[in-house]
Amino acid sequence: MRLILMGAPGSGKGTQGALLAQRLGVPAISTGDIFRANVAARTRLGGQAQGYLDGGEYVPDEITNAMVRGRLAEPDTAGGFVLDGYPRTVSQIAYLDEVLRDAGTALDAVLWFSVEQDEVVRRLLERARVEGRADDTAEVIRRRQEIFLAQTAPLMGEYRYRGLLVKVDGAGTVGAIAQRVAGALARSGRAPV
Ligand code: AMP
C-alpha cells in the first residue's frame, strides 16, 4: 500500500503516519525527519537543508526530490510506504508521479488531515515545550503555516481530481484520529486496512 499523508504542520500526520505504517507493515518515510537526521549528523545534505529548516522555508525541490527518489529506491519500500510531508509543491507532485511510474507502481490514497489553524498552532507550541524542535518557535511556526497555505494546501485539488483524496478530521486524541483514519480508508475503498 502506497499512501501519502498531507496536512498543515501540527496536523498530526507524523504521529498518524507512524501508527499507520506499523499497522500496514510498511516504512513510514518523513521527509522532515530525514532532513533533521541529516542536519544532526552534519552530512552534506544536512548542510544544504539546515538554513531552510531553521527558517521554516521549504528545502528547494531539486534537493528534496533527489532525496525522496533515493529513499523510495530502498528495498524496504517494495511492499509500500507511508510518505509523510511529501509532496508539498506542484513540482514535487509531478516528480513523485515520475518516480512511481519508473517503478511501475502508483499511489493508493492521499490522506488529508484537516485541523483548525488555532489548534495546529497550539499543538506546535506544546511540542516546542516538550521536544524543543528548532523550527517550533512562534515566528517560524507562523511562517510554516503561511507557506503551507500558499504552496501545499492548493495541492488537495489535484489529488481530489484524481479520486485519491481521503479527508480525515484531525481534531481530538491520537486514538480517535487513528480510528477515523482506518474508517475513512476502509470507506474510501482505496485501501483495505
Ligand atoms: P516537517 O517535519 O514535515 O514539518 O518538515 C520540517 C521541515 O523540513 C519543513 O519546514 C521544510 O523545511 C523541510 N521539508 C520537509 N518536507 C519537505 C518537502 N516535501 N519539501 C520541502 N521542504 C521540506
Active site residue 129: no
Three-state secondary structure readout of 34-62? HHHHHHHCCCHHHHHHHHHHHHCCCCCHH
Mean pLDDT of the chain: 94
Strands (E), 88-143: 109-114
Lowest mean pLDDT segment, chosen from 1-15, 98-112, 153-167, 177-191: 177-191
Determine the pLDDT at residue 191.
62
The atom number, within ligand 1, closest to the CA of 84 reads 3
DSSP structural state of residue 29 = E
Sheet holding 28-30, edge to edge: 28-30, 81-84, 2-7, 109-114, 165-169
Active site residue 167: no
State if residue 38 touches ligand 1 by the CB under 6 angstroms criterion: no
Question: Which pLDDT band, with edges at 50, 70 and 90, does 136 fall under?
Answer: confident
- Name the percent of the chain lying above pLDDT 70: 98
Separation of alpha carbons 68 and 12, rounded Å: 21
Determine the pLDDT at residue 149.
96
Choosing from 69, 127, 143, 167, which is the catalytic residue? 127
Active site residue 44: no
pLDDT tens-digit series, residues 47-80: 999 999 999 999 999 999 999 999 999 999 999 9
CA of 32 from ligand 1 middle (Å) equals 5
* Top-level class of domain 2-188: alpha beta
State if residue 88 touches ligand 1 by the CB under 6 angstroms criterion: yes
Q: Where are the domains of the chain?
A: 2-188
Of 5, 11, 30, 31, best ligand 1 pocket probe by most atoms within 8 Å of the beta carbon? 31
Residue 188 reports pLDDT greater than 90 = no
Is the previous residue joined to 87 through a cis bond, with omega within 30 degrees of 0? Answer: yes
Determine the pLDDT at residue 107.
97
Residue 153 reports pLDDT greater than 90 = yes
Question: Which pLDDT band, with edges at 50, 70 and 90, does 5 fall under?
Answer: very high
CA of 77 from ligand 1 middle (Å) equals 20
State if residue 31 touches ligand 1 by the CB under 6 angstroms criterion: yes
Active site residue 133: yes
pLDDT tens-digit series, residues 80-127: 999 999 999 999 999 999 999 999 999 999 999 999 988 998 888 888
Choosing from 13, 36, 71, 180, which is the catalytic residue? 13
The model's pTM:
0.93
Residue 43 reports pLDDT greater than 90 = yes
